[in-house]
Every structure is written in structure tokens, then in C-alpha cells.
Structure 1
Amino acid sequence: MPGAKRTKSSTPTDESRTSRLPRALYEKELFRLQTKLVKLQEWVRAEGERLVVLFEGRDAAGKGSTIKRVTEHLNPRVARIVALPVPTERERTQWYFQRYVEHLPAAGEIVLFDRSWYNRAGIERVMGYCTPDEHERFLRQCPLFERMLVEEGILLRKYWFSVSDAEQEQRFRKRLSDPTRRWKLSAMDLESITRWEAYSRAKDEMFVHTDIPEAPWYVVESDNKRAARINMIAHLLSTVPYGDVRQPDLRLPPRPPSSGYERPPRHLQTYVPDHAAALLNRVRPAP
């Protein structure tokens, strides 16, 4: 199947970058798009297609939250997320793309890479985790690798989430003070502040070599998270020629009459404590 056709787009205006979608409008449109994602999933499954979506970009650019919205209503047996850890010693001796090939989809599957083989063009390049020769080899091989994926019939989509330095720093500060998101922040993430321009140069060089007609890059302006999610999902749906899949006619059968079954006494089973009731008692006003 041919690669995605690049569509003409205009540079986002300042208003589109800063205007915040009202929550009601955002949630309504998000649900509409998620309904279409379910249709896309069923089409992929029924037609035996293979879809790969790469999520790349700056730290705290909103990749993870967008992936969460994409997969929220999808079947995890069809759509799965791949977020690989640091390579093992054995993996470091393999062909660079080898450990990613292992996670590519089979027929009827969708794979979303939360960071991908482009680690070599970004963090590995900037932090010195690869040699200049390895980086140069990657830039030379990557277009060939992706052309092979597309020629094989894999639907490949690549998204770069762009965030300003000011917005990134603000999100880092929120993570520092939020115990539920503190795990998202590491010393490596903080390095991206002091190496902002180095990452920018690495990204620009990466685009020069890998923004190819068969597998183009699509940039998502993500200072506004709600808009970024809506824009990315709408664009993905517009690039895949999915169609409706006829669903089986399912009807709830009538429940048969009881045949005499009796539930065992409750005291014979171990129940979790009723934390919800205890919580209600704490906030319930005294009589």
C-alpha cells in the first residue's frame, strides 16, 4: 500500500497555538473521533491491515496523554503500545533496528510506538550514547528501512509533537509538584532544558534525512494539549482509508429460570474492606 499522501498545510497561527478549547466542546469532539478510531480498529482487524504510529517529540510535549486518548476505547488485543526501555547489553550488539522489528504488527494489529527507532537521532545523538558513525549510519539506513515497511504494506504514520521551551518548563514544574506524575520526570528529562538547542539541531538534521514522501513527518503543535490531541487524531483518521465493517447482529438471550442454585454464605469468602463506606462516614454530617 502506498505511503501517506502529504497534504498542504499552513503554519499554525498564534491564536491556534494559544486558544483553549472549551472542555465541553473538546470532550464532545474527542468522543466523536474516538468512535471513529473504533471503526478504524475494526477495519484493520477485518481487513488484516497493519498500522504503525510513531509518537516522537520533546519531553513533556504531550505524546503520552495523546496515546492514552487514542487507545482509551480500543481493544488491547488489536491496538498495543510499545515503549521500550534502555537496550540490554545483548541488544546493543544487534543491528539497531532489530529490537523494533520484533514489535511490528502482524495482520489485523495496530502498534503505537511511544518513542521509537528515532531515539538514535535524538537522545542518543545529543547525549553521546551513540558514536558519530552510528548516527550517520542511522540517518542513511532509516529511510531505507521505512521504505521497506511501506513496500511491505505497513501503514506507517510519524508524528512529531512540538512544544515551546516555556511551556515545557511549566509542565516540568507541575510534574515536580504532582505526586501522581512525578515518575514522569527524570534527570534525563531535565537535561533537555540545558540542551534545548542541541536537541533542536538534532531534530532538524533528522527531518532533512527522514522526512521522505513514502513516510513523511507530521508536526503537531502541542502547547495546547487539548487541541494537539484533537488535531493528531483527526489527521490520523484522515490518512487511513478505513471503512465500515459489518458487525454481527447480537441480541441478549432471555435469562433462564433458576434451577435451584444457592450462593454460598458470604462469611465463607474474603471481601475487600469497604473503603468507600468509610469515606462516606467521614464526610457525612453528624446527626
Structure 2
Amino acid sequence: MNKSTTETERPDWLEAELADTIDEDYELELSEPALSEEIRKIYRKAHPASIPRLEYFRTLLRLQAELIKLQDWVSYHKEKVVVIFEGRDSAGKGGVIKRITQRLNPRIVKVVALPAPSDREKTQWYFQRYVPHLPAGGEIVLFDRSWYNRSGVERVMGFATEDQVEQFFHDVPEFERMLVRSGIRLVKYWFSITDEEQQMRFLVRIHDPLKQWKLSPMDLQSRVRWEAYTKAKEETFARTNIPEAPWYIVEGNDKKRARLNCIDHLLHQVPYEDVPHEDITLPERVFNPDYERKVLPPELYVPSKY
């Protein structure tokens, strides 16, 4: 990671960006739902004070500025980066992915969150449906869950047989070594939360109409099968933590710290540097004295209600 600013410096661009976007970021951070007063008390008791909001935003913006440099380096040098995000339901994977991509170019940085396999895909080589989403030169792909579904949810929920799971454990180390040998930089994160924290987050989702969509029957079953998921996770680490693609565990009970720690760690996994940029100048507007802008019919305009 190439740090161009120290933690104590406050460059003008940061102050300007902070002032300009604080409302947008604050909206993203409105995580405390309209819960019953009793659940609100329990939730607050279980969550001691986190990083002060302003300090969190300042640090996040600095890290996002570095992510832009990383993106530019990947694009310039035609590098290929894959980042895998795994973990229990509600562990915070989506939140960190959102902060990573928030200010990046979606043509360069892509998020892949595949649905359940179709009947046809179930008959394919297991890794086949993931391969088309791997990056070309100059791209970063973030997998919001990945081929590790096989050793996780598919195994625990009975969607894969023990023979299929064993075949997966046999194949995945070599599959990932192939990716690395092909020039892909592969980084794997597991977001870890406690039993109590997951229960609180599920209660939040149940009582918040803006978050109920995040709960699926599969999520609710994950509560019932907490211990089975724990055993599956432990075996996954034991059999797929290879030198070419090690696992990194992100402690996720504190959402803000988890986001900052993960982004900071990711920046240190890639030896990016500043790349040449052409100077950008705004060209002069061409005025045609014979051009007259037409007045469009009022029914074409979106009503100004706000």
C-alpha cells in the first residue's frame, strides 16, 4: 500500500469531499432500525461505542482514495484480482463490498453474487459457472459468496452429498493454484461474528421493514444449524488454507472497524503504485449562433414533488 498521506494530515480534498458527501454516507450508515424499545436496549447494550462517526468517515475516505489508486494500477498494468467474501449470514460481507465499490469504476470493479444453480448448472463441472466471471486483464472481481458454497451452505443444508463435498476439497486447492498460476491475485476473506451478534442482527432484520428482504428461509435455517456451519467452516479452513491463497479472518462484530480493517488489509495485498495520468483539461464549449434550444413538452418532465 502506497500511503501518500499520513493519518494526521488533513488534505484539502479530504475536507471538501467529507463536506460534500457526508449526507450520502450518513444515509448509508443509518443502521439502527425502528425497533421495539426492548430490542433497542438489548442492541445498544451488546454494542459498546464504536469509532466516532466523523473519524470513521475520514478514515474510510482516505482508504477509498487508495482504492482508486489500486483500481488505476490494476487497469494500467492489466492485472487481474479476485477477492472472495465468505462468512455467516449477516456477518457484514455486503457492507464492506458496498464501501469498496462505492467510489470505483463499475467497468473495472465488478461484484458477482450468483443465485442458486439451475438444473442445468447442477450437472456441470462444479466450478464451471464461476469461471465466466473471472477477471480479464485490468479487472477486479469481488465474489459475494463463491465456490465455497459447496463446503458451506450446500453441505450443511444437504444440497451436496458427502462425496461431492469430498471431491470439492480435493479439487479446490488445485483450482486456486491454477488461478494464481494464470496471473490472478486471489484474496479470501471470512467474516466472523459471534452467535449472539448474529441473533441480534437477525432480530434487527425481522423488525425493520427496510431490511426484511435480506432474510431468506435459508438464513433462518442457519440459526438452527449454527454448530453445523461452525464445523463446516473449520474443515474448510483446514483443507483450503493454502500458501498460494490463504484465508484471512475479519472480526465482524463491530461493523465500522470490520470495514476499515478489511479495506486496509486488502490494500496491503497488492503492490500497487501511482501510475501515469494524462492531464485533464476541459475543452471550450462550441457555440453555434444558428442553434436554438427547443422547448420540450412539459409532460416529458418528471414532476417536481420535492
After the TM superposition, list the runs of 4 or more consecutive aligned residues in structure 1 that deviate by more than 4 angstroms. Answer: none
CA contact (8 A) 1:18 1:223 kept: no
1:33-76 deviation per Cα after TM superposition (whole angstroms, max 9, x unaligned): 00110110111111010000000000000000110000001111
Alignment of 1:88-127 (within 5 A): 88-127=118-157
Distance of 2:106 and 2:53 partners within structure 1: 27
Question: 1:74 maps to which residue?
Answer: 104
Distance of 2:280 and 2:247 partners within structure 1: 41
Alpha-carbon spacing, 1:125–1:222, altered in 2? closer, same or farther (3 Å): same
Q: Specify which of 212, 220, 224 is matched with residue 194 of structure 1.
A: 224
Question: 1:248 maps to which residue?
Answer: 278
Percent identity between the two aligned chains: 57
Distance of 1:268 and 1:162 partners within structure 2: 54
Compute the RMSD of aligned alpha carbons: 1.3
Structure with higher RCO (Cα < 8 A, 6+ apart)? 1
Aligned pair 1:25/2:36, yes or no? no
Tell me the SS of whatever aligns to 1:36. helix
CA contact (8 A) 1:18 1:224 kept: no
Q: Specify which of 223, 228, 252 is matched with residue 258 of structure 2.
A: 228
Alpha-carbon spacing, 1:48–1:22, altered in 2? closer, same or farther (3 Å): same
Q: Which runs of 5+ in 2 are unaligned?
A: 1-46
Question: 1:129 maps to which residue?
Answer: 159
Question: 1:204 maps to which residue?
Answer: 234
Task: Compute the TM-score of the two structures, normalised by the length of structure 2.
Answer: 0.83
Question: 1:142 maps to which residue?
Answer: 172
* Equivalent AA in structure 2 for residue 204 of structure 1: E
Structure 1 residue 254, shift from structure 2 partner: 2.4
Alpha-carbon spacing, 1:102–1:18, altered in 2? closer, same or farther (3 Å): farther
Structure 1 residue 19, shift from structure 2 partner: 5.3
Distance of 1:42 and 1:269 partners within structure 2: 42
Distance of 2:232 and 2:53 partners within structure 1: 36
Aligned pair 1:171/2:189, yes or no? no
Question: 2:31 maps to which residue?
Answer: none
Q: Which runs of 5+ in 1 are unaligned?
A: 1-16, 277-287
Distance of 1:181 and 1:216 partners within structure 2: 33
* Equivalent AA in structure 1 for residue 95 of structure 2: S
* Equivalent AA in structure 2 for residue 82 of structure 1: V
Aligned pair 1:155/2:185, yes or no? yes
Task: Compute the TM-score of the two structures, normalised by the length of structure 1.
Answer: 0.88
1:150-169 deviation per Cα after TM superposition (whole angstroms, max 9, x unaligned): 11110000000001111111
